[in-house]
Structure 1
Amino acid sequence: MNLNALARKAAKGPAPSAYGGSMEVEDMVRFTRVHGAAGADEIERLCAQHGWLSNGLLADGTRVVPFARWAQACVAFGRGGVAGLRPLLADPELASFAIAVLDDVKTFESVQALLGFCAAANWQSSDATHAEWQALSALNLMLSLDDGVKVDQAVMDELLRVVVKAYEAAPRPFLKSLCLWTVRGAPTVQALAWLQQLEVAEADVEGARATAAKSVKRRLSPNYKAPDAKARRQIQRARAADV
């Protein structure tokens, strides 16, 4: 998408321009990834021109997309890459937007940024949409599938440490299951041993544990071959077609 196309989407559509027009969040994120600093400048200009909102909850109770928050995250990434998003992770009002952009970027550097955020989390919130759980969910999506981001042993060891801490603190069964799904991204002997020794009472959590153990064991097998670039593209296309 070029600069003019994004501007047209922002200005026209079923929604008022202050609510983004016909633009989607994905349009803004991908636009920034393609155009970098120039894209960041254009998004900043459009935000000021149309008065995009920072608060997604209007006075009458209506919910809208807070495009101004998304713009801040996209501008930070466009100008500074993953490093530009790290300061936003420390801001409770912007962390979720930064995490979503990092999830979309799907690089080794974005995995490291999310892991660093998770390493400092206390995992006390029972809300699955809280930033710390959102970050863990992003790591699950980025690392747990065969076509996930390629990482080294150090990242897998850190992911296991994060998951164990989160699992032990998780206040809800669903969040414990999320931890177990995420540990699939650390296919190591240590992760498999941890999964195998866990004693789980809840049926859903036990199901997640069994699934994770099976996945880690499969990826540890000497017969396992990670998909090459062509196979990864085929997997991603098939997944996109199912959405």
Structure 2
Amino acid sequence: MESYNQFGQRIGPELPEWTTREMPEKVSLRGLYCNVIPLAIDHAEDLFPEWHSIEDERDWTYLEGDRPKDKAACYAWLRELIAHKERYYFSVQDQKDDQVKGIFYIGKVDPDNGSFDISEINWTPLMKRTRSSTESLYLILAYFFDNLKYRRCEWRTSIYNAEGTRSAERIGFVKEGVLRDKKVRKGHSTDIAVFSITRKEWPGIASMITAWLREENFDGLGHQLQKLSALRRY
């Protein structure tokens, strides 16, 4: 509802019951197909060979870092990520084999305004286009929106990252615009596309994703019967 101040100026809707949100914890979240768990150094044992299961580094083009050259470098890099003061790094563990198959982080956590972002989503080839890739993001979004009652999640990616853009829009993120010349990444100027989900959109998105994740939405070979977009009701 529109609000106006004492000067007749239009301002945003009132939030009379709003209070500062709690900071997140490094929680473990269990889904139907995967677990989202805090990143640990020994996850390098699963991640390193899968990151090197393809010959080139194309999956790292739009990420901050470069693919670790050897396992020792992988251990050192994960140790740096875990020590970061302003980011919460998580791994995605497949329930079928307990193998860690991807990582991401939660950052820019703003409890005063109830916002956070998901970034540096780094799936190994084993995890791409799987139910776990969708469910892992659902689990962390549900933790923030349903448990901690945050109001907004952002997803930022290079405008050239077509796969990242498709993933954001598929989940239900709405594109807000482009931040021009926002980053210098690996020696190149980068425009950053900004996507978001807000609290009022979340119930519809959550319903869509949970319906898609149901076991009966997949055949005996694991192929989806209905696409996520076909279940959109918001």
TM-score, reference length from structure 2: 0.29
More helix by share: 1
Higher RCO structure, 1 or 2 (CA under 8 Å, sep 6+) = 2
More strand by share: 2
TM-score, reference length from structure 1: 0.28
